[in-house]
A and B are shown apart, each in its own frame.
Chain A
Amino acid sequence: MISLRQSVPLIASALLLVLATPHRSAAQNLEPDQILHPAPDSWPLYHGDYSGRRHSALKQITPQNVADLSLAWAFQTGQNASIKSSPLLVDGILYFTVPDNIWAVDARSGHMLWHYNHPTTQGDHIGQRGVAMYKGWLYFVTPDCHLISLNAKDGTVRWTKDIADVNVGYWTTMAPLVVRDHVIVGVSGDFDNLSGYLRSFDPESGKVQWQWNSTPPAGTPNATTGGMTWMTGTYDPDLNLIYWGTGNPTPVLEGHTRPGNNEWTCSIVALNPDTGKFAWGFSVSPHDTHDWDAVETPVLVDGDFHGQPRKMVMQTSRNGYFFVLDRTNGKSLLTVPYGPTNWALGVDKDGHPIPNPDKEPAQDGRIVAPDEGGMTNYRAPSFDPATGLFIVDAHPSWSLYFAKPADGTYGWAGADYGLWGKGLIEAIDYQTGKIRWTHEVGPYGSGAGVLTTDSGLTITGDSTGNVLALDTTDGKTLWHAGTGAGMQSSPITYKLDGRQYIMTGNGGVLFAWALPLHGAAKQ
């Protein structure tokens, strides 16, 4: 029996322990540590975690029981726009978007808590990739280039800040990246010759902290414009670097006014998130003339490469090449095509594809593989550590590209026409680039991203609206469900109240899939 005098320090230290441990306060709150180490019942940012691997440790749903996967609930947005966002799950509430709209949905019941709906008339409403969260606040970009901070509890607006000027041709669609006390946002727009950039905002005040420009302003001699930062980057907390892909140069199909590699367009760059200072850059598509943005997820993987442990960044890029780089210094480890390509003369000693001048758009046309949509696009790939497979929804394709002097040197400056393409899920061995298995997902191509889990499942979708669960080792279909609309986003997964859910957006409906409650497999 301890005395009161003895127990006070005990109580005090217990209290200190409770207060010091980063634990979730009541609800609708996301601390930086929770993004750094996501709990199984969360999906705290667009990628799920900072690595961008879109790989989950959850094992309740397995290749053995996935045949019993069924619908837990569906949420109908009741409007036409296809869901292109990855939902966030924080404290049992899902937050997802379409342009101009955010929904907060109870992840247990599938019913709506609130709906932010503020139509805008300017800016391209092509899509919206989702919100970011910091403490009790959500961050949302609008087609007309505003960053809005909202109260996660009720969707009320705290402040609105400018990201760019929609009147000169920018628009914004991406899901911001929160790194500690930085909300990092990128821009879109290549119908005009504009400079691309990343802008970091203070999450509380909305003040601009820094801006990094991928290209100089239009009119700068011996330079290009473009390099839009269309999609969300990834982050290495140990190196304290963010990794971001940049878009194509402008004018798009006409390269004569911008000779050279056109840095930093179609590149992977590493920046310091606190200052925006440039650490290194790698040109994925030097002197691009086919609109092949390199904005696909720069996936961070720690593992062996040819017998040596490496910190790597990997990208299946739009131009048809799979890149593995050392992410500490940007040096190339592997550059290899992952589908039919015919536009390069080869790969140089530093791992850059060498564009063939003969395959630049021409007046009488050039046949080019892949097409302008690219070997892959916005749909996320996934890295599975157990098999060492980098799995991507690929689009082998062929097209014609044209450009002539009459097309000018502004914006698109040419024309391109897709001839044929198909959708193919490819599982790439990251050390060699060899494709270990493929899975056909339909003519024209599929818009679905890929998610993998530790139990050995690959979740994706085909072109006709089927959600697919494949065996990660060989790509065979283990389960499917027809949803009536092709996925235009990437799946997520989480565990809530001991039950694992897989979530997909198809058309205007959000689906939550899980094993049936009665007879659900034990973990």
Chain B
Amino acid sequence: MLGVLAAAFALLQSPVRAASDTPTQQASAESSEKLGAESYASHCAICHGNQREGILPGFPPLVGIQHQLTDAKIVALLREGKGRMPGFPKLADPEVASLVSYLATAPAAPTLGVNTNSKLPPEAAAGSAIFLQNCAFCHGRDAMGGETGPDLTQSKIVLGDKDGSAISGVVREGRIGKKMPAFQFSNSELASLVAFIRVRVAAAASMKGGRRGVEAADLQTGNAAAGKQYFNGSGGCAKCHSVTGDLAGIANRYEGLRLEERMLYPRDALSKVAVTLPSGKIIQGVLAYQDEFTIGLRDSNGSYRSWSTGNVRFTVDSPTQAHVDQFPRYTDKDIHDLMAYLQTLR
């Protein structure tokens, strides 16, 4: 009883805490933290990890939780639970207070490391655990590229992202076209991921020649004159493209690997579709959806319309088909020459 009164008194004196009815034992902070650590270990660690690093995808890290939730919110969560997290209504106030106090302090040791040699700061350490479990298979344990994912340390999006929002956007939305799934992470999880990626970018920049990736300088082995001949000749490019028309200045818009990838297959190009209804009426638009059973388009007004494929006839005009047909015909020299030629279009 006396302890609780003392705690309340201490709360009133504390400049740190906002107005809240959370009892905090400022006076005996050390023992409180020890109690908090023990309480954490027995109630929370099984889901949130020994170092508060979380266990993704279901159990978020708690590192830096004080930036996300007020003390009152944390207490409410502890008491009531949320979703799959159980509540702990029987926890005594002092224990709750010490838990909150413990959560406000940084973890003692870095979390489970990746193969980096240096100790990671706490946020990046939490991010490394998330990255290892969810990203490493495609992007590599060191974020420098893996099975199907690009080297993030050379990514334009990563390097140009000032506040983490661009990276977070990609993680949240995924990249359907490139088979990257969308991930549902909280803000704090994303922040820790961004922190980890930034650490890797810095590490990669300091590596002497150890990088994986493709620089524009790697792609300059072709001959522009030969490329021009190929463009107008057996490449067939001139049938659809014009260097003074749609491709004018293309090298200003794209460079290096991005230019070469789009040259070989422009994945953003939209297809057109013409749907013939049973009445004979033809509706045209931009192809918006297609599987074996449903065809959908956006008409000239931007409205989406779809039909069962069994009920209509339709033809799809895909500008990328010619690119697909060309794949087996390229030699590697053709590609390098074409690249050299396109890079003159500024």
> Which residues of A are at the interface with B, using a C-beta cutoff of 8 A?
79-81, 119-126, 143, 169, 191, 291, 340, 342, 358, 362-367, 369, 372-373, 398, 400, 402, 404-408, 411-415, 417-420, 440-442, 444, 462-464, 466, 468, 477, 480, 482
B237 contacts chain A at the CB level, 8 A cutoff: no
Of B85-93, B205-213, B244-252, the one with at least 4 CB within 8 A of chain A: B205-213
- Set of chain A residues within 8 Å of B211, measured between Cβ atoms: 406-407
User: How far in angstroms is the closest Cβ of chain A from B61?
Assistant: 11
- Set of chain A residues within 8 Å of B140, measured between Cβ atoms: 191, 411-412
Query: Which residue of chain B has its CB nearest to the CB of A421?
Result: B179
Bound-state Cα–Cα, A364 to B146, Å: 19
B147 contacts chain A at the CB level, 8 A cutoff: yes
Establish whether residues B137 and A124, one from each chain, have CB atoms under 8 Å apart when the complex forms.
yes
A-B contact list, 21 entries, CB within 8 Å: A121-B53, A121-B133, A122-B112, A124-B136, A125-B133, A364-B220, A365-B218, A365-B332, A366-B332, A369-B327, A372-B148, A402-B214, A407-B210, A407-B211, A412-B144, A414-B212, A415-B150, A420-B324, A442-B291, A444-B179, A480-B292
Establish whether residues A406 and B209, one from each chain, have CB atoms under 8 Å apart when the complex forms.
yes
- Set of chain B residues within 8 Å of A466, measured between Cβ atoms: 291-293
- Set of chain A residues within 8 Å of B28, measured between Cβ atoms: none
- Set of chain B residues within 8 Å of A120, measured between Cβ atoms: 55
Establish whether residues B134 and A367, one from each chain, have CB atoms under 8 Å apart when the complex forms.
no
> Which of B53, B58, B184, B220 has the most chain A CB within a 10 Å cutoff?
B58
Bound-state Cα–Cα, A342 to B328, Å: 8
- Set of chain B residues within 8 Å of A442, measured between Cβ atoms: 291
Query: Which residue of chain A has its CB nearest to the CB of B55?
Result: A119
- Set of chain B residues within 8 Å of A400, measured between Cβ atoms: 260-261, 264
* B interface size (C-beta, 8 A): 56
- Set of chain B residues within 8 Å of A369, measured between Cβ atoms: 327-328
Establish whether residues A191 and B141, one from each chain, have CB atoms under 8 Å apart when the complex forms.
yes
- Set of chain B residues within 8 Å of A367, measured between Cβ atoms: 264, 327, 330, 332, 335
Query: Which residue of chain B has its CB nearest to the CB of A119?
Result: B55
Bound-state Cα–Cα, A147 to B152, Å: 33
Q: A407-B210, A412-B145 are in contact. List 7 more A-B contacts (CB 8 A).
A: A121-B55, A126-B137, A191-B136, A291-B147, A364-B218, A372-B147, A441-B292
- Set of chain A residues within 8 Å of B129, measured between Cβ atoms: 121
User: How far in angstroms is the closest Cβ of chain B from A318?
Assistant: 12
Establish whether residues A415 and B214, one from each chain, have CB atoms under 8 Å apart when the complex forms.
yes
> Which residues of B are at the interface with A, using a C-beta cutoff of 8 A?
47, 49, 53, 55, 57-59, 112, 129, 132-134, 136-137, 140-141, 144-148, 150-151, 177-179, 184, 209-214, 218-222, 257, 260-261, 264-265, 267, 291-293, 320, 323-324, 327-328, 330, 332, 335-336
Bound-state Cα–Cα, A468 to B291, Å: 12
Establish whether residues A81 and B57, one from each chain, have CB atoms under 8 Å apart when the complex forms.
yes
Bound-state Cα–Cα, A406 to B264, Å: 25
User: How far in angstroms is the closest Cβ of chain B from A230?
Assistant: 12
Establish whether residues B327 and A398, one from each chain, have CB atoms under 8 Å apart when the complex forms.
yes
> Which of A124, A414, A415, A442 has the most chain B CB within a 10 Å cutoff?
A415
Query: Which residue of chain B has its CB nearest to the CB of A253?
Result: B212
With A119-B58, A408-B210: A358-B293 Cβ-Cβ less than 8 Å:
no
- Set of chain B residues within 8 Å of A414, measured between Cβ atoms: 212
Option from A363, A415, A462 in Cβ contact (under 8 Å) with B292: A462
User: How far in angstroms is the closest Cβ of chain B from A39?
Assistant: 35
Query: Which residue of chain A has its CB nearest to the CB of B176?
Result: A444
> Which of A120, A406, A441 has the most chain B CB within a 10 Å cutoff?
A406
Query: Which residue of chain A has its CB nearest to the CB of B112?
Result: A121
- Set of chain B residues within 8 Å of A124, measured between Cβ atoms: 132-133, 136-137
Bound-state Cα–Cα, A405 to B211, Å: 10
Option from A119, A121, A412 in Cβ contact (under 8 Å) with B146: A412
Bound-state Cα–Cα, A466 to B294, Å: 11
Bound-state Cα–Cα, A191 to B114, Å: 12
Query: Which residue of chain A has its CB nearest to the CB of B145?
Result: A415
- Set of chain B residues within 8 Å of A79, measured between Cβ atoms: 57-58
9 closest A-B pairs by beta carbon, nearest first, are A119-B55, A406-B209, A364-B221, A464-B291, A126-B137, A419-B265, A125-B133, A398-B327, A420-B265
Bound-state Cα–Cα, A371 to B148, Å: 10
- Set of chain B residues within 8 Å of A444, measured between Cβ atoms: 177, 179
Query: Which residue of chain A has its CB nearest to the CB of B58?
Result: A79
User: How far in angstroms is the closest Cβ of chain B from A205?
Assistant: 28
Establish whether residues B261 and A417, one from each chain, have CB atoms under 8 Å apart when the complex forms.
yes
With A124-B136, A419-B261, A419-B265: A364-B219 Cβ-Cβ less than 8 Å:
yes
- Set of chain A residues within 8 Å of B335, measured between Cβ atoms: 365, 367
